[in-house]
Amino acid sequence: MTPRKIVVTSGKGGVGKTTTTANLGATLAKRGKRVILIDADIGLRNLDLVLGLEKRIVFDLVEVAEGRCQLRQALIKDKRFESLSILPAAQTREKDAITTEQFSSIVDLAAQQADYVLIDCPAGIEHGFRNAVAGASEAIVVTTPEVSAIRDADRVVGKISQERKPIRLIVNRLRPEMVRSGDMLSVDDVCDVLSVELLGVVPDDEEVIDTTNRGEPIVLDETSRLRTIYDKIARRLEGEMVPFTNFDGTSLFGRLLDALKVG
């Protein structure tokens, strides 16, 4: 298959780009794909922390760009999976330490040895964003069901559409009980505003805070319902038709059902 180069972006920060990148990457690797995750957030890297690999960093993205090491030397293999590696960002450098051309050629190099290259984009729409998007051939936009996040996502969708790259949407941190009480926008509301194909809906789960702090992506937890959700997202990404879970049910019965069902 042609390797997929996908940027995970959002505009707004803190909506779950890095968590999505780590968990989707881990899920794809579990499904037997060769996956390389690239942290494009130079100066504010976090993907290494979320995967618990921070102590194993030797070289970083900027050093690869500057030719001070080979890509394979900088890649950190996540030993919990068959085929998952990350390329960490530099922590003490700035986003403009790397040009768009340099970044794109590193992504292409990574794509030669992977089925999926996922690029964890920095927040905002500055130089770091432009680099991350330039290197990708498709995009996953992550948003939370909040007015401010959706407005930022809309802006990012506009920018990526200009480059004619396909975009799909993940609605993250949905709280079904708040949607029902009318205090949170529903998935339909979000999709209406953004008019982007929906890739997945991930409910809010406080366990994510803990697993992130411990450097263990939540998909490693066999009991987590998010594991099933990310698996569905990975299958949709691979082209399978997988039905969506409806989190917007209004009845008491629906609520009980929500509590029971996974995915």
Partner 1 sequence: MQQTQAVEHEAGTAAPAPAPRLGRAIVLTSGKGGVGKTTTTANLGTALASRGVKVVLVDADIGLRNLDILLGLESRVKHHLLDVLEERASLDDALVPSKYGDTLFLLAAAQSREKDDVETEKMKALIAGLRERFDYVLIDCPAGIELGFKNAVAGADEAIVVCTPEVSAVRDVDRVVGLLGNRFRPQLVINRLRPALVRKGKMLSVDDVNAILRLPLLGVIADEPDIIVTTNRGEPLALRRENPTGAAYHAIAARIAGEDVPVPMPPLSKPSFLERMSSLFGGKRA
> Which residues contact partner 1 (rule: CB under 8 A)?
11-15, 18, 43-44, 46, 49-50, 91, 94-96, 122-128, 146-149, 151-152, 155, 175, 178, 183-185, 206-207, 209-210, 212-213
Rounded to a whole number of angstroms, the minimum distance from the CB of residue 128 to partner 1 is 6
Residue with Cβ nearer partner 1 (218 or 237):
218
Other residues' Cβ atoms within 10 Å of the Cβ of residue 213: 11
Rounded to a whole number of angstroms, the minimum distance from the CB of residue 14 to partner 1 is 1
Contacts of 91 (CB under 8 A, 6+ apart): 43, 44, 45, 60
Residue with Cβ nearer partner 1 (111 or 208):
208
> Residue 82 corresponds to which tokens in the numbers above?
């068959």
Rounded to a whole number of angstroms, the minimum distance from the CB of residue 47 to partner 1 is 9
Rounded to a whole number of angstroms, the minimum distance from the CB of residue 183 to partner 1 is 5
Rounded to a whole number of angstroms, the minimum distance from the CB of residue 69 to partner 1 is 23
Contact 213, 227 (CB under 8 A): no
Contact 228, 201 (CB under 8 A): no
Rounded to a whole number of angstroms, the minimum distance from the CB of residue 88 to partner 1 is 13
Residue with Cβ nearer partner 1 (209 or 262):
209
Residue with Cβ nearer partner 1 (148 or 161):
148
Residue with Cβ nearer partner 1 (5 or 95):
95
User: Could you give the CA distance from residue 111 to residue 34 in angstroms, rounded to a whole number?
Assistant: 10
Rounded to a whole number of angstroms, the minimum distance from the CB of residue 142 to partner 1 is 11
Residue with Cβ nearer partner 1 (22 or 110):
22
Residue with Cβ nearer partner 1 (189 or 238):
189
